[in-house]
């Protein structure tokens, strides 16, 4: 598994196991269930410049092998996050990776400037791939030139390591990965959710207000593994594998596929002990 530590740019982590953005909220919510300080770090809920109420209507739907979500990047906004949420994480001994996204270019630039003023933030994950918003998200993340533009802007403004989180909802994710690396990304996170939907058989209407939603959980594992395999053989920067990890064996597969680190997401809803079991397994090898 390549040792117990993980390095991203100039930043070193004690181990390569993280909580993925989304399921863990701002991170501190799991302080009573997971040894947060024992992880490599936590990727926070995605933060936008202004508070975002998220999508209306149904937001979560279970499937036979995963979870559909249409949260829509609900969050408290950068001001509250940096003044209230981030200090809680730091006080708990957590290494934060701050997930960032914006709906337009000006808002994105302002968000980066606000983030750059936070001296405690030394790693960010640029969410280029959320399927649950109308602007930004996959509108940006499926276009290599836009991926390059957004990653490049982050590198211009931030004195921090930058992870580019990519969508699998394209023909060839390696094209996006090359664009991100060329623009200066210190690492690639692969992957975000797959686009899916569900229908209410009683009404015959889509379950979600936006019709489509993002699929996570065990069903995502084979797709994520193939993406990590492909991306890790395309770029020279570290690849962080995420998608469908529900056991230590699943995490091992990601490392074998070429990942330098892993993120655990949906599984913490029903197995919060899993991330630390993965850490323990790595440290015993």
> Catalytic residues, which ones?
130
Cis peptide before 191 (omega within 30 of 0): yes
Q: Which residue has the tokens 């569900």?
A: 198
Q: Which residue has the tokens 């920067």?
A: 237
The tokens of 12 are what? 């070193």
Strand partners, 126: 100, 164
- CA gap 249, 115 in Å, rounded: 36
Q: Which residue has the tokens 């094209």?
A: 175
Max CA-CA distance within the chain? 54
* Direct distance between the N- and C-terminal alpha carbons of the chain, in angstroms, rounded to an integer: 8
- CA gap 266, 88 in Å, rounded: 23
Burial (0-12, 13-18, 19+ Cβ within 10 Å), 63: middle
Q: Which of 168, 153, 149 is nearest to 226 (CA)?
A: 168
In order, the DSSP letters of 58-82 are --EEEETTEEEE---S-B--HHHII
| Helix residue ranges, H only, the chain | 78-80, 86-91, 105-116, 138-141, 144-157, 173-182, 221-232, 248-257, 274-284
Which residues are CB-contacts of 264 (< 8 A; sequence separation ≥ 6)? 17, 18, 19, 20, 242, 245, 251, 274, 275, 278
């Amino acid at each position: 598994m390549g040792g117990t530590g993980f390095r991203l740019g100039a930043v070193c982590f004690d181990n390569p196991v993280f909580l993925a953005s989304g399921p863990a909220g701002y991170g501190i919510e799991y302080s009573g269930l997971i040894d947060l300080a024992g992880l490599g770090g936590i990727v926070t809920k995605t933060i936008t410049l202004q508070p975002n109420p998220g999508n209306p209507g149904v937001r979560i739907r279970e499937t036979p092998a995963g979870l559909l979500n249409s949260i829509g990047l609900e969050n408290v906004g950068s001001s509250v996050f940096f003044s209230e949420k981030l200090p809680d994480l730091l006080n708990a001994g957590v290494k934060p990776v701050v997930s960032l996204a914006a709906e337009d270019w000006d808002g994105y630039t302002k968000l980066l400037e606000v983030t750059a003023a936070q001296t405690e933030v030394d790693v960010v994950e640029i969410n280029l791939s959320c399927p649950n918003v109308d602007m930004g998200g996959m509108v940006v993340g499926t276009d290599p030139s836009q991926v390059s533009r957004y990653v490049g802007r982050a590198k211009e403004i931030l004195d921090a390591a930058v992870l580019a989180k990519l969508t699998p909802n394209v023909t060839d994710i390696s094209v996006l990965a090359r664009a991100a690396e060329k623009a200066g990304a210190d690492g690639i996170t692969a992957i975000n959710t797959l686009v899916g939907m569900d229908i209410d058989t009683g009404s015959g209407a889509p379950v979600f207000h936006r019709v489509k939603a993002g699929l996570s959980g065990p069903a995502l594992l084979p797709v994520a593994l193939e993406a990590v395999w492909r991306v890790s053989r395309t770029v020279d920067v570290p690849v962080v594998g995420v998608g469908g990890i529900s056991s230590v064996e699943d995490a091992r597969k990601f490392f074998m596929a070429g990942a330098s680190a892993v993120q655990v997401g949906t599984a913490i809803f029903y197995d919060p002990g899993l991330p630390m079991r993965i850490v323990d397994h790595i440290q015993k090898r």
